[in-house]
């Protein structure tokens, strides 16, 4: 193979990748927050999302950039997953514009006469624009001009390659051949990290006679599938929302690719019919660009009606620790129809909330404990559960409910607030430790550890479902913690004076111990109230069971 041809291929790919990067970066900078505002405002439904994803990707020429922005909006709560799916669909259609730009080369256009003036004007704007929007537009224009030069270089290289090789020796036929070219398109996208580059190479190779139309079609499908590798790599270790959006991207491209491959001959019959209807010359690049567009549009038509189900499916996957902990286990709108069952569900959810809250408070009492991802996830889970309980109770109160249930609901809310307040105090303890270990006094550290140990012992008695749970023992331990707090406080003050601590250090120690005491008090209030609620629903359950047995005896 001629080294000149190899050099032209390498150079053409390099120029093309540089051009796409400059075009994307320039347009993103020039648009500023406009694209972000458009993405946020124009996605009120999946169909609007498709249009927005298509429009922005067509302008920016980077579906990856749009997908990353979409993930950011989902994480921020500005878009839900259903809206994000529409943007992902539209972005796939938007990437087909690359093929149409490549197809322009198939028409008798003087590339140098078109591209070089664009590059010249772009560089003038870039050099004179400083950091203004004009400079960004100039960079985009340079990228646009280089785009055509890169494609022209690739086209010339492939034409030279065809002239030096006997292509019939290298042509693969049948299913095996299609799968080979599919894999080749996928591999090119993975290596270049740009489906635009892989598609440009494919279209120019087909235009130069290096590939048959079906082989090139399989490579285009492979390139479309290859973009999923970028999405998968980008979300390794990322948030659950990021993984869900990437999962949607993978599923869309995979389903679309399989359908296109199975219907490959039929797809090109449709393409030929469209080019004939529009009176367009059936050049290989034009046919492939149209093929790329048609099968992505077909994918959207298949997936759009399934968007709601796909969103539900994805939301059940990739759950983070926070989402797993903070997901209600018992609250269900279906049980709210029956007030007694709804009350049972609310109390059971309170027990779940208590378990997570006590776990977080126990973490805050550990020696040298510091905030980390686990503690943050647990805190957020408590907030989510408390909010879920509150919303459930509010929904119940809107319905017609028995007087006895109505009287109990405020207790449920109050119990939830006790646990939430305890966790917020525990967060203060965790984020603002006493620093006693840095004071260089072992007695102060011993005093603090003794108090933490006594509070931890109280927490160990808070499992109201345990066989040995005793309300009397729990109340006795709670009272002891309250009484002993004053002793710990007195010991702290006396020792602080003895070692000559500064006022700020003494205040820090007292504030830390005070937060621990208030945390324990809130947990104790929550446990006492939850114990009463738990006993109440058990008595009601036993009464219902007794009434059922009595009813059977009377009617039997």
Tens of pLDDT, residue by residue over 5-17, are 677 777 877 876 7
* pLDDT for residue 166: 46
In a domain, 358, yes or no: yes
In a domain, 551, yes or no: no
d(CA 448, CA 454): 10
* pLDDT for residue 401: 76
Same domain, 223 and 260: yes
Is pLDDT at 460 greater than 80 in this prediction?
Answer: yes
pTM for this structure?
Answer: 0.56
Residues near 356 by beta carbon (within 8 Å), at least 6 away in sequence: 325, 378, 381, 382, 385
**Higher pLDDT, residue 21 or 408:** 408
* pLDDT for residue 465: 83
Q: In a 10 Å sphere around its CB, with 0-12 CB exposed, 13-18 middle and 19+ buried, how is residue 216 labelled?
A: buried
* pLDDT for residue 140: 78
CB 292 within 8 A of CB 99: yes
**Higher pLDDT, residue 15 or 433:** 15
* pLDDT for residue 403: 79
Is pLDDT at 168 greater than 50 in this prediction?
Answer: no
* pLDDT for residue 106: 55
SS (H, E, C) 353-364: HHHHHHHHHHHH
Same domain, 313 and 332: no
Section 208-233 average pLDDT: 82
In a domain, 545, yes or no: no
**Higher pLDDT, residue 502 or 76:** 502
* pLDDT for residue 212: 82
d(CA 42, CA 83): 10
Segments forming the whole domain that contains residue 149: 3-318
Domain termination residue (choose one: 298, 318, 338): 318
How far is residue 283 from each of residues 6, 105, 356, measured CA to CA in Å? 25, 10, 65
In a domain, 254, yes or no: yes
**Higher pLDDT, residue 331 or 544:** 331
Same domain, 201 and 261: yes
Q: In a 10 Å sphere around its CB, with 0-12 CB exposed, 13-18 middle and 19+ buried, how is residue 213 labelled?
A: middle
* pLDDT for residue 360: 92
* pLDDT for residue 64: 63
Same domain, 405 and 304: no
d(CA 501, CA 505): 6
Same domain, 440 and 460: yes
**Higher pLDDT, residue 191 or 237:** 191
How far is residue 30 from each of residues 35, 56, 288, measured CA to CA in Å? 10, 13, 31
Same domain, 291 and 364: no
* pLDDT for residue 545: 62
In a domain, 542, yes or no: no
Q: What is the mean pLDDT of the chain?
A: 78
Tens of pLDDT, residue by residue over 340-375, are 677 888 888 899 999 999 999 998 888 777 888 788
Is pLDDT at 77 greater than 70 in this prediction?
Answer: no
* pLDDT for residue 424: 93
Section 151-180 average pLDDT: 64
Residue 186's pLDDT band, with cuts at 50, 70 and 90, is confident
Q: What is the DSSP letter of 369?
A: -
**Higher pLDDT, residue 157 or 323:** 157
Domain termination residue (choose one: 318, 349, 374): 318
Least confident span in 285-289, 427-431, 502-506 = 502-506
Pick the most confident of 41-50, 141-150, 212-221, 485-494: 212-221
Residue 29's pLDDT band, with cuts at 50, 70 and 90, is low
Q: What percent of the chain has pLDDT over 90?
A: 9
Same domain, 206 and 328: no
**Higher pLDDT, residue 383 or 333:** 383
How many independent structural domains does the chain possess?
2
**Higher pLDDT, residue 359 or 466:** 359
Same domain, 162 and 26: yes
Same domain, 31 and 110: yes
In a domain, 497, yes or no: yes
* pLDDT for residue 498: 75
In a domain, 548, yes or no: no
Same domain, 284 and 297: yes
Same domain, 18 and 158: yes
* pLDDT for residue 167: 43
Q: What is the DSSP letter of 210?
A: S
Section 405-418 average pLDDT: 90
How far is residue 176 from each of residues 102, 182, 262, 264, 265, measured CA to CA in Å? 28, 10, 13, 14, 16
Q: What percent of the chain has pLDDT over 70?
A: 75
Is pLDDT at 96 greater than 80 in this prediction?
Answer: yes
d(CA 34, CA 25): 14
In a domain, 387, yes or no: yes
Domain termination residue (choose one: 271, 291, 318): 318
CATH number of the domain encompassing residue 390: 1.20.58
Same domain, 329 and 244: no
Q: What is the DSSP letter of 304?
A: G
């Amino acid at each position: 193979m001629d080294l000149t041809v190899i050099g032209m291929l390498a150079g053409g790919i390099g120029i093309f990748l540089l051009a796409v990067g400059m075009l994307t970066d320039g347009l993103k900078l020039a648009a500023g927050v406009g694209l972000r505002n458009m993405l946020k405002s124009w996605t009120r439904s999946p169909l609007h999302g498709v249009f927005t994803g298509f429009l922005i990707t067509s302008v920016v020429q980077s579906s990856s950039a749009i997908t990353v922005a979409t993930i950011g909006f989902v994480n921020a709560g500005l878009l839900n997953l259903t809206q994000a799916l529409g943007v992902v669909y539209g972005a796939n259609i938007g990437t087909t514009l690359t093929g149409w730009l490549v197809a322009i080369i198939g028409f008798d256009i003087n590339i140098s006469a078109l591209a070089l003036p664009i590059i010249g004007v772009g560089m003038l704007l870039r050099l004179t624009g400083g950091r203004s929007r004009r400079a960004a537009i100039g960079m985009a224009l340079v990228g646009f001009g280089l785009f055509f030069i890169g494609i022209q270089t690739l086209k010339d290289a492939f034409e030279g390659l065809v002239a030096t090789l006997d292509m019939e020796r290298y042509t693969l036929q049948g299913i095996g051949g299609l799968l080979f070219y599919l894999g080749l398109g996928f591999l090119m996208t993975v290596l270049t990290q740009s489906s635009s580059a892989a598609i440009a190479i494919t279209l120019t190779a087909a235009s130069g006679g290096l590939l048959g139309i079906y082989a090139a079609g399989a490579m285009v499908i492979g390139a479309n599938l290859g973009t999923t590798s970028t999405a998968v790599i980008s979300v390794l270790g990322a948030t659950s929302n990021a993984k869900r959006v990437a999962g949607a991207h993978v599923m869309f491209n995979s389903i679309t690719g399989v359908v296109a491959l199975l219907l490959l001959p039929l797809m090109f019959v449709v393409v030929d019919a469209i080019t004939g209807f529009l009176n367009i010359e059936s050049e290989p690049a034009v046919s492939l660009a149209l093929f790329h567009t048609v099968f992505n549009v077909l994918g959207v038509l298949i997936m759009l009606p399934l968007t709601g189900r796909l969103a539900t499916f994805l939301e059940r996957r990739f759950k983070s620790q926070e989402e797993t902990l903070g997901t209600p286990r018992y609250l269900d709108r279906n049980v709210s129809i029956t007030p007694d069952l709804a009350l049972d569900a609310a109390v059971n959810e309170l027990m779940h909330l208590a378990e997570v809250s006590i776990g977080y408070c126990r973490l805050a009492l550990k020696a040298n404990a510091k905030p980390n991802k686990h503690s943050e996830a647990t805190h957020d889970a408590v907030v989510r559960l408390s909010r879920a309980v509150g919303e459930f109770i509010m929904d119940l109160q809107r319905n017609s409910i028995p007087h006895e249930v109505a009287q109990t609901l405020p207790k449920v809310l109050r119990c939830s607030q006790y646990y939430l307040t305890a966790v917020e105090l525990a967060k203060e303890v965790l984020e603002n430790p006493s620093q006693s270990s840095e004071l260089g006094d072992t007695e102060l550290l011993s005093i603090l550890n003794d108090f933490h140990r006594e509070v931890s012992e109280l927490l160990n008695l808070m499992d109201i479902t345990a066989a040995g749970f005793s309300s009397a023992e729990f109340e006795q331990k709670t009272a002891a913690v309250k009484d002993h707090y004053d002793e710990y406080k007195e010991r702290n003050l006396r020792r602080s004076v003895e070692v000559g601590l500064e006022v700020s250090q003494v205040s820090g120690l007292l504030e830390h111990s005070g937060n621990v005491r208030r945390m324990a008090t809130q947990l104790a209030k929550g446990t006492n109230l939850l114990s009463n609620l738990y006993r109440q629903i058990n008595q009601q359950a036993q009464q219902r069971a007794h009434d059922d047995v009595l009813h059977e005896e009377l009617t039997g």
